[in-house]
Copies of this chain bind each other. A is one copy, B any other.
Amino acid sequence: MTATLRDVCRRARVSSATVSRVLNGSPLVAPATRQRVRRAMAALDYHPSQAARSLASARSRTLAVLFPGIASGFYSEVLCGMDEVASEHDYHLLIAFSHGPDDQERLFIRCLRERRADALVVLNLNLPDALARTAAKQATPIVFVDRPVQGAKGCWVGIDNTTGARLATEHLLERGYRRIAVITGPRDSYDAQQRLAAFRATLSRSGQPLEPWLVWQGAFTEESGAAAMERWLRSGRPLPEAIFATNDAMAIGAWRVLKEHGRRVPQDVALVGFDDCESARHLELTTVRVPMRQMGRAAVELALARIQQQEPATAQRLVPTTLVVRRSAPGIAKGVTP
């Protein structure tokens, strides 16, 4: 049988309270006693039962992480960052993917109400805002990643989309590109909206407002990027000088279609993405880098701070974005052959 705290008590000749104190690193234990208890634990190969601790202390030392269903490799970096911080603080990570809209709510409730976790980290889930607001009022701290809660200021870690999109746009403008098209993300995506807005604003500032027909609707998927490109090519209109895809997946889809139609990037049209996913590196796509690992770290840092009440329930954090210049929109002026 596996040893329990009582076994340790007997062997060390102390009370359960003392063993518990040693377990929890309380300073109220005489060094000699601590020694004895430690030895007893080692001798018995004792390991405390997590369930019992959770029940008695009402804390699980666990963080629940809710992912959106689409498991883009994208998120594994985020997860990795989360684990780094969590394990530094002796916390564990419980994860769940949403397999559908109903699921999201169910998972949510479960983690919260069944007290499986001391805090919740929610990634870019399409929780109805009402639920999100209710949730934010719960006792369990919640951190939203990459999706602010409308109306209720909850803890939130986001991407600096505005700077990223501005950098990308300025890069194109400075290289002499005009008539820049944009492939947008889904209308209800916060990131998509911000990226588009910053793109438009930067263009305006440069004195050349965005023309409506250069706004191509996408959905953050490779297919939607390809479809947008197809539509334009089939329309017979001349290519824009550059395209800003508001994420890499769509940029990759568009690029594929361009290739299929014999158009070259960047010679015939420059292309910039957003995210800097793994494939972007391999394809040499110029893009805006989003530090995924850092986002994960920030989210867990916030969650832990909330658990210790060291941070207001309205804390927010933005992770910075940077431009990564590669072949699809190189760092030299338009028309100059590398």
Contact = CB atoms under 8 A, between A and B. Distances in A.
A150 to B, nearest CB: 24
A75 to B, nearest CB: 6
Interface stretch (A66-74, A188-196, A210-218): A66-74
A204 interface: no
Interface of A: 2, 45, 47-52, 54-55, 60, 62, 71-77, 79-80, 83-84, 87, 92-97, 99, 103, 109-110, 113-116, 252, 278-279, 282-283
A77 B76 CA distance: 9
A109 B50 CA distance: 13
- The 7 A-B pairs of least Cβ separation, nearest first, read A73-B73, A47-B113, A51-B54, A71-B80, A76-B76, A51-B55, A50-B114
Given A55-B49, A71-B76, A71-B77, A95 B113 contact: no
A115 B51 CA distance: 8
B76 A72 contact: yes
A236 to B, nearest CB: 28
A252 B282 CA distance: 8
Given A60-B51, A73-B74, A73-B278, A84 B99 contact: yes
A83 B95 contact: yes
Contacts of A113: 2, 45, 47
Contact of A96 (B45, B47, B83, B110): B83
A178 B209 CA distance: 59
A79 B71 contact: yes
A278 B76 CA distance: 13
B94 A94 contact: yes
Contacts of A92: 94, 96, 116
Contacts of A60: 50-51
A331 B74 CA distance: 32
